[in-house]
Chains A and B, each alone.
Chain A
Amino acid sequence: MAAKAERSKERVAVAKTYKIYIDGKFPRTESGRYFTLEDDNGSVIANVCRGSRKDFRNATVAARKAQPGWAGANAYLRGQILYRIAEMLEGRREQFIAELQLQGVARRAAREEVDMSVDRLIYFAGWADKYQQVFSAVNPVASSHFNFSVLEPTGVVSIIAPADSGLLGLISNVAPAIVGGNTCVVLASEAMPLSAVSLAEVLHASDVPAGVVNILTGLRSELTEHFASHMDVNAIVFCDGARKTARTVQELASANIKRVIARADVDWTRESAQHPYLIRDTQEVKTTWHPIGR
């Protein structure tokens, strides 16, 4: 009886509207379309934005606009901002665990995924002012020149996030791209898009400049080709196992010689899934020659 009395006093919950994240704002998709996310019992969890080509183009414009400023921020600052994202995510652990559970992840696995997501952000935050030291070189050319090669961000990166790892998989691909000074447009997991949208709220509260990370939700079958073909995107990170799609992506990417980084079948929960070569994937090597003399 007591339990029943409790229940009658239970407040009516307020459902959250899941929107997309473009240029530091949370618009609905310009297309006005949606797709429905259901739980195992078939009840509606949320009506999620079914992002369009136009949304993607808007996001790319924002990413391009933000890129020089972000690349120009010093490595220490980029590291501190990534660390701040981790701090903000840590503070919202319970929310993210609950949301993953809502999307069908078991409680324990959800907790592990959130913890690992925080740790992964800290891992990449630490690389901000170190990957350059590991991957750059002074080249002992035979002539009297000081010759050195450093990494520079490739620019705007489109990311088709892993389908099966709604939060950790997305972070594992976004963090190495942005820590190196790239900006990105991300397509969230279609089956688990909620964590991506909530992560956008975390990014929004973490001093990440507008446009550095843009997150869309929608249908892969519809959006992948745009992520691959856009002429103002420099690289595509593509986490999808299907061979046929991979081929299409590579073909479309050739239009502007996009770098294609295929990361299919990675178990993002493994520690070995984090390494600095993920950062290097979206970097260019720039070599400078300078004379030595009097």
Chain B
Amino acid sequence: MATPENKLAFEGGWEYSPAPESTDHIKVAKKYDLFIGGDFVKPESGKYFATVNPATEERLSRVALAGDADVAKAVKAARKAYNGPWSRMKPADRGKYIYRIARIIQERAREFAAIESLDGGKPIREARDVDVPLAAAHFFYYAGWADKLEYAFPGRSVKPMGVAGQIIPWNFPLLMAAWKVAPALACGNTVVLKPAETTPLTAMKLAEVIADAGLPEGVVNVVTGAGDTGASIVSHPGVDKIAFTGSTEVGRIIQKALAGSRKKYTLELGGKAANVIFEDAAMDQAVEGIVNGIFFNQGHVCCAGSRLFVQESVAEQVIRKLKDRMETLIVGDPLDKNTDIGAINSKAQLEKIESYLEIGKQEGGDMYQSSCPVPDKGYWCRPTIFTGVSQSNRVVQEEIFGPVLAIQTFRTFDEAVSKANNTPYGLSGGIWTDKGAKIFRMTQSVRAGVVWANTFNKFDPTSPFGGYKESGVGREGGLHGLDAYLELEA
């Protein structure tokens, strides 16, 4: 066991030379129109808004602002495509189109990764190794389901829902688009997609891919804008299904707005996952798991392991190791391949995170941040932990959506469970132990849709994802994710 005297010498004098990803191979237009009915069309209002690189605060491009009239146009195009070719097409042929999308994303993977990093601030390493390959894999997986749906729901016959309105967040822009679009298309629906206002570029690139793949016009429509555009989709009477990923706050508004309508909905909302470390865990792996759980993607992860529970007997050791490890994390240029923590997605989000840091301190928590230098321009937050906090603290209860970890301790298994479940959220959880029996007991006890054992933040197209309680309704991914886009009939 490592003691303070012989701790791993992370800081052994190594310096990293810059390893920036080049951007000369990517194409970002100065201006993006809406993608409706297979064409790029100007917004009725003529208005555009800027999308900014959060690492430099410089404008990357201008994107059309879709209003009610544009949304109506998109829904109409989607309806036409649904009634026309798409819902009548041979399912295997639908699959072939979706396979094409998967293949083109694979071919253009490097471009997508660079743009994702530029527009959203995430480290290029994560965009390259996680977001983009997973997005392609999602299309590949659901393409295969298109002509196999009858095997997913024995005893029922399946039918598409119609036009799906899909509203996605800014933390995994392309990947969330894939999570939404791929199953919707495989099940025979058509789509009106709205990317987040701070990260619209890869959705527009996806529109290019969809056009290149030769999908019938109107099968996928992309409208850009902020909350008002989303609200317009939600309230449009021509939409049959709403799929939303975002905050619980907005999810509540959407559920309320849909009350009394015939629209179906799935909601992937916030989280405050417990990551539970037992004393018999492999400690160095657990520490890596904690780091991955909360600092992956700047903590902009709805399933982030933002509440850490450590068994008392090992708490001191774990926290020390964690601090040592945090000290090695590089915060900075997202396009640098050595960067561990990129830019906070927007100024507004940085302000929100910083306000929580103040709240945490005011409530009596002990805040610790690594000493990593951060660039002058751009939006940055060092990896942060709070110790000395309790269940009632706001930094323990509320979703911060940043690289901020609240640490508490426990003595017994039952105490860990009751603390882990003391939250309105129920998206995910983590457990670290060498005992298999304890893992299964824990997964049974934690009220959450995904539980990672001796790992964290793993995603796969075959694996369902979604929350209990106020973390949402429905599942995305895997066989169970098909349910969200089908009517089941006798």
Separation of A122 and B91 alpha carbons in the complex (Å): 12
B148 near A294 with CB under 8 A, answer no
A134 near B438 with CB under 8 A, answer no
Contacts of A83 on B, CB cut-off 8 Å? 99, 140
Known pairs A122-B99, A134-B479, A292-B440. 9 more at Cβ < 8 A?
Answer: A123-B92, A126-B95, A129-B461, A130-B151, A130-B462, A130-B479, A133-B462, A133-B478, A133-B479
Separation of A255 and B92 alpha carbons in the complex (Å): 42
> Quick check: is A269 within 8 A (CB to CB) of the other chain?
no
A291 near B436 with CB under 8 A, answer yes
B152 near A294 with CB under 8 A, answer no
Question: Interface residues of B: mostly helix, strand, loop or mixed?
Answer: helix
Which size class do A's interface residues fall under?
A: 20 to 34
B interface with A by C-beta (< 8 Å): 92, 95-96, 99, 137, 140-141, 143-148, 151-152, 413, 436-438, 440-441, 444, 461-462, 478-479
Query: B291: shortest Cβ distance to chain A, in Å?
Result: 25
Separation of A148 and B335 alpha carbons in the complex (Å): 43
Separation of A294 and B478 alpha carbons in the complex (Å): 30
Contacts of B140 on A, CB cut-off 8 Å? 76, 79-80, 83
Separation of A99 and B140 alpha carbons in the complex (Å): 32
A294 near B441 with CB under 8 A, answer yes
- Closest A residue to B441 by CB, please name it: A292
Please provide the chain A residues from 258 to 294 with a CB less than 8 Å away from any CB of chain B in the complex: 276, 290-294
Separation of A125 and B145 alpha carbons in the complex (Å): 11
Most chain A beta-carbon contacts within 10 A, residue among B137, B151, B441, B478: B151
Choice from B147, B437, B440, B441 contacting A126 with Cβ under 8 Å: B147
> Quick check: is A127 within 8 A (CB to CB) of the other chain?
yes
> Quick check: is A251 within 8 A (CB to CB) of the other chain?
no
> Quick check: is A146 within 8 A (CB to CB) of the other chain?
yes
> Quick check: is A119 within 8 A (CB to CB) of the other chain?
yes
- Closest A residue to B412 by CB, please name it: A294
A130 near B145 with CB under 8 A, answer yes
Contacts of A80 on B, CB cut-off 8 Å? 140
Separation of A294 and B436 alpha carbons in the complex (Å): 9
Query: B278: shortest Cβ distance to chain A, in Å?
Result: 10
9 contacts between A and B (CB under 8 A): A80-B140, A83-B99, A122-B92, A126-B144, A127-B148, A129-B461, A130-B141, A133-B478, A134-B152
A291 near B437 with CB under 8 A, answer yes
Choice from A123, A133, A293 contacting B437 with Cβ under 8 Å: A293
Query: A14: shortest Cβ distance to chain B, in Å?
Result: 34
Choice from A119, A126, A290, A293 contacting B148 with Cβ under 8 Å: A126
Chain A 98-137, CB within 8 Å of chain B: the 1/0 string?
A: 0000000000000000000001001101111110011000
